[in-house]
């Protein structure tokens, strides 16, 4: 299944950590996809400032500086606050409440086994990541997702295990708390509403399904339940849970919407990352872009202009694949392999392509740069919308858990 086959009511949720200016790797790897989705589904995108604290708890100024800068990068990329909801995690403490409640029943092993836990500790050796917050952060991410009942989570491959953990957390929650204390009475009330005959048929199918695994009986029953005008959605859902023996679905299991790894590597061919010093920011000076691309390493075999090269060994070629049309690509490949062009010549269309891509981004960012209050207002409005959803889920969660004494 992919996102395009779902209905507009389906909610999409994703977040980014505000730890630095966004670069072209973020744009091609994630943001372009976010922008595409905003016109197809109900999209919620948030600044994951608490997540940033899990690795940057000793450098909060980095986060403070980047919260609104990142939102400007999003707007520059083409996210439109009239089409999607942009918000700030720390303004919605309900995320922390759900995280706490989920943490009670989450086995430590689930978190210790998340691959990013050990990987990141290895990679970020200069930071002490043997913290409770760092271990727990995939569960915080689960809370971020579940609190909006998001169906789709656009993330890179590296985050797929976090979405899997989210699904497990939802399943466990529903299993533990999906039966309200008055579940049986409510089921009976719904059955009464449907009338004697329908109730009898449902009981019979339920028995067939639960005792002999008769899936035809289940499909028929669920079809009937989803069509009947006699029940509201809440009641239908409860009866479906009663039918399957699972209880009511309080938290919805999301799916990862895997975005391909960014096709754009860093200037040196490694993954683009600010910390590797191989990045071009989404909003960068013209002269700095020119200098950076001119200094890009090329195929090491081309020492002299007359040496033939091989594009596949050259990071500039990867940039051509993103920024050049077919005829320019053919010109570059041919010119490289036959020493018909020099490397600086070959890089010029790439420079032109990046500069051209920046024009609309700079234009979109421009009005916000001098009016920071407008950016804050956008985030405030989005946060209010998101908060209403988060609060309504938490009311259900508290009721399901019986925390309403």
Which residues sit at the interface with ligand SF4, rule CB under 6 A?
298-299, 302, 309, 311, 314, 316-317, 332, 336, 341, 343, 346-347
Considering the complex, state which of residue 155 and residue 343 has its C-beta at the smaller distance from ligand SF4.
Answer: 343
Q: Are 309 and 53 in contact (CB under 8 A)?
A: no
CA dist., res. 78 & res. 273, Å (int): 22
CB of 304 to ligand SF4, least distance (A): 12
Residue 248 binds which entry of ligand TRP, ligand SF4, none, CB below 5-8 Å type-dependent: none
Q: Which long-range contacts (CB under 8 A, 24 or more apart) does 118-122 make?
A: 120/55
CB of 297 to ligand SF4, least distance (A): 9
CB of 171 to ligand SF4, least distance (A): 50
Residue 13 binds which entry of ligand TRP, ligand SF4, none, CB below 5-8 Å type-dependent: ligand TRP
Helical segments of 129-232, H only = 132-146, 160-177, 183-194, 196-212, 215-227
Residue 316 binds which entry of ligand SF4, ligand TRP, none, CB below 5-8 Å type-dependent: ligand SF4
Residue 17 binds which entry of ligand TRP, ligand SF4, none, CB below 5-8 Å type-dependent: ligand TRP
CB of 139 to ligand TRP, least distance (A): 11
CB of 326 to ligand SF4, least distance (A): 15
Angle, helices 233-244 vs 215-227, to 10°: value is 170
Considering the complex, state which of residue 206 and residue 302 has its C-beta at the smaller distance from ligand SF4.
Answer: 302
CA dist., res. 220 & res. 223, Å (int): 5
Residues that bind ligand TRP (CB under 6 A): 13-17, 48, 51, 141, 144-145, 153, 155, 159
Tell me the helix, strand and coil percentages in the chain, rounded to 5: 65, 5, 30
Q: Are 282 and 21 in contact (CB under 8 A)?
A: yes
* Sequential DSSP letters for 338-356: TT-S-HHHHHHHHHHHHHH
Residue 25 binds which entry of ligand TRP, ligand SF4, none, CB below 5-8 Å type-dependent: none
Considering the complex, state which of residue 154 and residue 349 has its C-beta at the smaller distance from ligand SF4.
Answer: 349
CB of 263 to ligand SF4, least distance (A): 16
Residue 18 binds which entry of ligand SF4, ligand TRP, none, CB below 5-8 Å type-dependent: none
CA 264 to the chain's CA centroid: 19
Based on the number of CB atoms within 10 Å of its own CB, is 59 exposed (0-12), middle (13-18) or buried (19 or more)? Answer: middle
Considering the complex, state which of residue 26 and residue 186 has its C-beta at the smaller distance from ligand TRP.
Answer: 26
């Amino acid at each position: 299944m992919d996102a395009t086959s779902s209905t507009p009511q389906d909610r999409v949720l994703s977040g980014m950590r505000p730890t630095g200016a966004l670069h072209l790797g973020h744009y091609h790897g994630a943001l372009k996809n976010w922008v595409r989705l905003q016109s197809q589904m109900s999209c919620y995108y948030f600044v994951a400032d608490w997540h940033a604290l899990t690795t940057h708890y000793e450098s909060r100024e980095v986060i403070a500086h980047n919260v609104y800068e990142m939102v400007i990068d999003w707007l520059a990329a083409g996210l439109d606050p009239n089409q999607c909801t942009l918000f700030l995690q720390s303004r919605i403490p309900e995320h922390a409440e759900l995280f706490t409640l989920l943490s009670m029943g989450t086995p430590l092993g689930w978190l210790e086994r998340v691959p990013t836990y050990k990987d990141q500790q290895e990679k970020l050796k200069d930071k002490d990541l043997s913290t409770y917050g760092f271990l727990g952060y995939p569960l915080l991410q689960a809370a971020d997702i579940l609190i909006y009942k998001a169906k789709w989570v656009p993330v890179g491959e590296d985050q797929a295990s976090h979405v899997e953990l989210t699904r497990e957390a939802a399943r466990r929650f529903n299993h533990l708390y999906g039966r309200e204390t008055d579940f049986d009475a409510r089921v009976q009330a719904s059955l009464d509403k449907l009338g004697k005959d329908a109730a009898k048929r449902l009981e019979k199918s339920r028995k067939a399904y639960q005792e002999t695994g008769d899936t035809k009986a289940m499909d028929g029953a669920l079809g009937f339940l989803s069509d009947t005008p006699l029940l509201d959605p809440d009641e239908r859902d409860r009866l479906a849970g009663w039918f399957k023996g699972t209880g009511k679905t309080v938290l919805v299991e999301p799916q990862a919407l895997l975005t391909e790894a960014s096709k754009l590597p860093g200037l040196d061919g490694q993954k683009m990352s600010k910390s590797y010093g191989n990045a071009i920011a989404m909003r960068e000076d013209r002269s700095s872009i020119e200098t950076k691309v001119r200094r890009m390493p090329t195929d090491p075999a081309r020492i002299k202009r007359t040496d033939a090269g091989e594009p596949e060994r050259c990071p500039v070629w990867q940039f051509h694949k993103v920024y050049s049309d077919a005829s320019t690509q053919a010109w570059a490949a041919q010119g490289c392999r036959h020493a018909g062009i020099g490397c600086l010549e070959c890089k010029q269309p790439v420079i032109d392509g990046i500069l051209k891509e920046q024009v609309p981004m700079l234009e979109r960012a421009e009005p916000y740069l001098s009016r920071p209050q407008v950016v804050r207002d956008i985030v405030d409005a989005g946060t209010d919308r998101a908060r209403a959803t988060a609060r309504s889920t938490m009311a259900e969660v508290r009721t399901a858990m019986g925390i309403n004494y």
